[in-house]
Chains A and B, each alone.
Chain A
Amino acid sequence: MRPFDYQQAQGTAAALALAAQHLAPPGEERILAPAQYLAGGTNLLDLMKIGVAHPPALINITALRQDHGRIETDASGLRLGALARMAEAAEHPAVLRDYPAIAQSLQLAASQQLRNMATLGGNVLQRTRCNYFRDPSWQACNKRVPGTGCAAMAGVNRRLAVLGVSEHCIAHYPGDFANVLAALGAEVEILSSDGTARRIAFEELHRLPGDAPHIDTNLRPGELIISFRVPAGPWTRRSLYLKIRDRESYDFAQASAVVALDLQDGVVREARVGLGGLVAKPWRSHEAEAALRGRKLDQASAQASADAAFQGAVTHGENAFKPELGRRTLVRALLQAAAMET
């Protein structure tokens, strides 16, 4: 097998220090940092087995659950430790009650076995399921090997993205939970290798492919996500995650929608809208939100919101159906959220 260093970090400072030992030369660092943090391993280990990821070093951060595995809520919002398991967040009473969209996005992802292993921090960083990316025998993949082209554009792409794509890459972000974090305006708390903390908007964590699709996120080498902060708001209780997929369970989304509404007498005071399954990165649609604000939520405003959300959609043959499916998914989610009893 391909050799790699494997170390177990006993605490946060140790993990950061271990990562710092493996920093890549300037310019190279963003393709894939030479040291990868390993938590549940449900995505990274797969990628290593299929020859897509080959980090020289793995740093097991499971012990950091002590520091960063908690789920806490107060009047300002929800704080989700990055090392909390997907299953823990999905089943947490406060999450279920106050942030149903978050609970649903987790419950509808993967399988119970995977949710018991995977951490929230790892989940948001899962990489695309584009088959041309995941099989190194395909030569043309700008995301895997910069500058080689994109075989997916004229190939099998019914699962790939229509929002946020570039002429270099149409890979989709496959996850669910991250779309909710983006929509609800969450922040992500990050420690850098010298121990200093920074916070960025979750929407700024992932990058659009642009002309550098091989760089998925704005994380710097050695940085570690330690938590997600979801601000409270009058819309979080009336929120849901609708996932449309080919089969009933254990499948990635063909389209999904996050909707959170603050309604008064059927009129939208504030809305949060996210999309998934057909997006290049976790997606908040400010356009869809703007189209709803101040309007009575009905079929017409829902349709207007959905139309706004997919204004910039770009399709490539097989996936031409996805904007229409995405619009319908959002309409269905909006009407369903409006009908929720909170």
Chain B
Amino acid sequence: MPDGNQTIIGQPAIRIDGRAKVTGMARYASDEVVANPAHAFLVTSAIARGRIRGFRLDAARAVPGILDILMHGNVGGEAEKPKPMSGGDTTTTLESDRVWHDGQIIAVVLAESFEAAREAAHKVEVDYEAEPPSATFGSPGVEEEVRKAGEHKDYKVGDAEASFAVAEVKVDARYGTPTQHHNPIELFTTTCEWRGGKLTVYEPSQFVYGLRGSLAKQLRMDPGDIHVVSRFVGGAFGSRGGITARTAWIAVAARRLNRPVRLVATRDQGFTIVTYRAETRHHIQLGATRDGRLTALRHEGWEVTSRPSEYNVSGTETTARVYACPNILTKVNIVHADRNTPGFMRAPPETPYMFPLEVAMDELAVALNMDPVELRRINDTQTDPATGKPYSSRSLMPCFDQAAERFGWKGRNPAPGTMRDGDWQVGWGCATAAYPANIGPAAARVTLTLEGKARVQIAAHDIGTGAYTVIAITAADRLGLEIGKVVVELGGSELPAAGLAAGSSHTAGICNAVAKACEGVRQRLAQAAVTSNDGPLAGQDPAKLTLSAGALRAPGGAAEDLPKALARVTTGVLEVYAENIPKGLPPESIGKVYQGQMAMSRGHSREDATTYTFGAQFVEVRVHALTREVRVPRAVGAFAAGTIVNPLTAHSQYMGGMIWGISAALHEATEIDPHAARYVNDNIAEYLMPVNADVRSIEVIMVPEQDAQVNPLGIKGIGEIGIVGMNAAISNAVWHATGRRIRDLPIRIEDLL
């Protein structure tokens, strides 16, 4: 497709759905109107392991307005358990009497009102046959195994063990990260409505086709008989990537009652009925020469998962390739406990795995008496050390240099504990952020009308990121229209398929598909214009015609207004459907998306190049000299992510990621009772995240970068990388402020007393 006429891509644009959101006109899934819904309330297990002997339901059934109670005894055979997007098997809910984890769905109470359903649910009494549960690492009864190769790879380059043994300078340390939960503001809801044999599901989703495909299998239905609707999503962060158990049971409930059923699960249920970021442990060994060149990198990780699942994130796929190093060895282990199955959460592999690597790099810089930025420079590379392939583009050091300049890094006294502001110890730290540039196949339909408006239809997902707007920008750019002339329809399985909105892949996948459909429009218009007998563009080379500013234009200045150009093709509307299969994926990969399966080209697994986004993050912390509370007055992040479609929403994404990084480093941890294996702080009063007063200055620098290889539009993706370096940058800054190296997150007062 012709380039060089990008006038709208890259310009800041306000969200096209912003007005709808702030005026309450945007319909989130549980706002969708259904006739006379019954209300569901979940009963969840109060033990983490065992069996359900029976239910005592007399009191619940006596609640006025109660309609039905679903349990394994009466509906267990009506649905199969969901298949997670990753990790194989998972735990059951109503399919059996087995309790796998705390807070597992064990019954669904249905009533005329939410209040009646809740009251009856509180009156359900459960007789358990409890068994001693295992909570997490180190608990009696956990089962550890080496993660099998398959979904994820280990790397062995050279001989890391031998090189480490003889290295001139070494870092050898262990690290840990806690359980975390997404807690999107929109609660986990599902509304199901049957019409004849056809089912409509309203649920916030990051993958409507995936939800449809999985639900069809679970309910043994034809996917074509299921319509999934998810027009607006109030935050997702990975929590709505794969289908969870609740959906099928609400569908079953609606079928039994023969009326729509709505579930709005409670905040605390959101801690156990969906996925979470599992706690991890790490062992890192770095060896280097006296002048700072890495000679050995070993990274072994451990991740918690449920009993039946092999879910893991294996962030070693990134840590193995961040720095030039001739000897690399990685390994990942999974630890099965009596927990629900974990899942994606913002930068799933990189957030927990880059933390230990980037703290270890800081420790190495200290051991070498070297500036941590210079240590990164010495080990920077344009070649992927794990595979030998070139990076399609890599702007790590421009990011470090620009962020360091803005931050004022050169004013840093490298000795720890030397900077002070009154009673507060001041520390500065930095870290690398890295995230693969992924892309999935997607399809889009673009319709041009005689009024000069375009409609774009694609089953993409705006999870708060601004997807509606980047699609409108792309279509406007390619069709030569104003953004306001583009109508975008997203979030429904009646639309052309798009993949999982995750892995920072979505903008690249959907914008390239939309651009391809727009190119189809341009070709049809151009062909008609050049073959006409009378038009201003007759006889021109159709490949050279472009759409801009409401007209079809030739290089020499000849032009025809869009309505006239369109009239040469049709007196109706021009509709073009296109599928974009990213380089390296097979043609049938779009079919997999339609079937609801994952199909993604990953930045670390491409044949032609390694494609990654890089960034550098700098943080100032203050630690009170006496009482040791940690605050972050400022942070600067610089990122190079290829084409930025909308700098306005990109800024929000980066900034949001950095704020979440402050949260992850200092606040967030889901506390689990070590004996009962049950979450304790399952509410957002005690599951802390920063409030406004904790977030002072956050500066985002977008380092220009062009990458023609990564995909036609050069988009690398930005959703995840903002969080990646923050954990380590904060820990490194805390070391600089206090001399205390904290290797387990979150960093709290008690770690520094």
- A contacts, CB < 8 Å to B: 1-2, 51, 129, 131-132, 135, 137-139, 151, 154-156, 158-159, 244-251, 254-255, 321, 324-325, 328-329, 331-332
Contacts and interface: CB of A to CB of B under 8 A. Distances in A.
Contact of A151 (B116, B119, B122, B673): B673
Contact of B680 (A132, A321, A331, A332): A132
Given A325-B627, A332-B627, 19 more contacts: A138-B676, A151-B673, A155-B674, A155-B676, A155-B680, A156-B680, A156-B681, A246-B629, A246-B688, A246-B748, A246-B749, A247-B690, A247-B694, A250-B693, A321-B753, A325-B753, A329-B627, A331-B626, A332-B423
A188 to B, nearest CB: 27
Interface string B673-684: 111101011100
B600 to A, nearest CB: 36
A315 B268 CA distance: 28
A132 B748 CA distance: 22
B130 to A, nearest CB: 11
A51 B122 contact: yes
A331 B423 CA distance: 13
A247 B691 contact: yes
B291 interface: no
B622 to A, nearest CB: 11
A151 B47 CA distance: 14
Majority DSSP secondary structure for residues of B touching A: loop
A156 B671 contact: yes
A311 B697 CA distance: 42
B115 A1 contact: yes
Contacts of A129: 685-686
Interface in B707-753: 748-750, 753
A321 B676 contact: no
Contacts of B116: 1
Interface in B583-635: 624, 626-629, 631
A155 B115 contact: no
A159 B119 contact: no
5 contacts: A155-B675, A247-B690, A248-B631, A321-B750, A328-B626
How many chain B residues sit at the interface, stated as a range, is 35 or more
Contacts of A250: 691, 693
Contacts of A247: 666-667, 688, 690-691, 693-694
A158 B749 CA distance: 11
Contact of B119 (A2, A132, A332): A2
A328 B681 contact: no
Q: Which of A131, A250, A255 has the most CB of B within 10 A?
A: A131
Nearest to A54: B122
B39 interface: no
A325 B680 contact: no
A131 B681 contact: yes
Contact of B750 (A1, A2, A51, A158): A158
Contacts of A155: 673-676, 680
B701 interface: no
CB-CB nearest 10 A-B residue pairs: A321-B750, A248-B693, A1-B115, A249-B693, A137-B46, A156-B680, A156-B671, A131-B680, A155-B673, A248-B694
Interface of B: 46, 115-116, 118-119, 122, 268, 423, 624, 626-629, 631, 666-667, 671-676, 678, 680-682, 685-686, 688, 690-694, 748-750, 753
A328 B753 contact: yes
A321 B688 CA distance: 19
B587 to A, nearest CB: 51
Contacts of B122: 2, 51
Nearest to A111: B691
A133 B423 CA distance: 37
Contacts of B118: 1
B681 A246 contact: no
A290 to B, nearest CB: 23
A249 B749 contact: no
Majority DSSP secondary structure for residues of A touching B: loop
Given A1-B118, A247-B694, A248-B691, A159 B675 contact: no
Contacts of A329: 627
Contacts of B690: 247-248
A142 B155 CA distance: 53
A244 B673 CA distance: 25
A246 B682 CA distance: 17
Contacts of A254: 749
A330 to B, nearest CB: 10
B680 A249 contact: no
Contacts of A255: 627
A325 B750 CA distance: 8
B688 A251 contact: yes
Contacts of B678: 138
B746 to A, nearest CB: 9
B417 to A, nearest CB: 17
Nearest to A254: B749
Q: Which of B627, B671, B673, B748 has the most CB of A within 10 A?
A: B627
Contacts of B626: 328, 331-332
Nearest to A329: B627
A19 to B, nearest CB: 26
A213 B129 CA distance: 30
A324 B753 CA distance: 8
A102 B674 CA distance: 39
Contacts of A139: 46
Contacts of B749: 244, 246, 254, 321, 325
A2 B64 CA distance: 11
A331 B625 CA distance: 12
Contacts of B674: 154-155
Q: Which of A159, A244, A248 has the most CB of B within 10 A?
A: A248
Nearest to B681: A131
A218 B122 CA distance: 31
Contacts of A249: 691-694
A325 B753 CA distance: 7
A96 B95 CA distance: 61
B667 A156 contact: no
B686 A154 contact: no
Contacts of B753: 321, 324-325, 328
Nearest to A2: B119
Given A129-B685, A154-B675, A328-B753, A244 B46 contact: no
A250 B688 CA distance: 10
A138 B678 CA distance: 9
A89 to B, nearest CB: 22
Nearest to B122: A51
A247 B667 CA distance: 8
B238 to A, nearest CB: 24
B119 A131 contact: no
A2 B113 CA distance: 13
Contacts of B681: 131, 156
Contacts of B667: 246-247
Contacts of B694: 247-249
B221 to A, nearest CB: 35
A245 B629 contact: yes
Nearest to A257: B627
Contacts of A137: 46
B337 to A, nearest CB: 16
A94 to B, nearest CB: 27
Q: Which of A2, A137, A155, A249 has the most CB of B within 10 A?
A: A137
B669 to A, nearest CB: 10
Contacts of B688: 246-247, 251
Nearest to B632: A248
Contacts of B686: 129, 131, 159
A305 to B, nearest CB: 14
A335 to B, nearest CB: 9
A329 B625 CA distance: 11
Contacts of B624: 332
A135 B679 CA distance: 11
Contacts of A245: 629
A158 B624 CA distance: 20
Contacts of A328: 626-628, 753
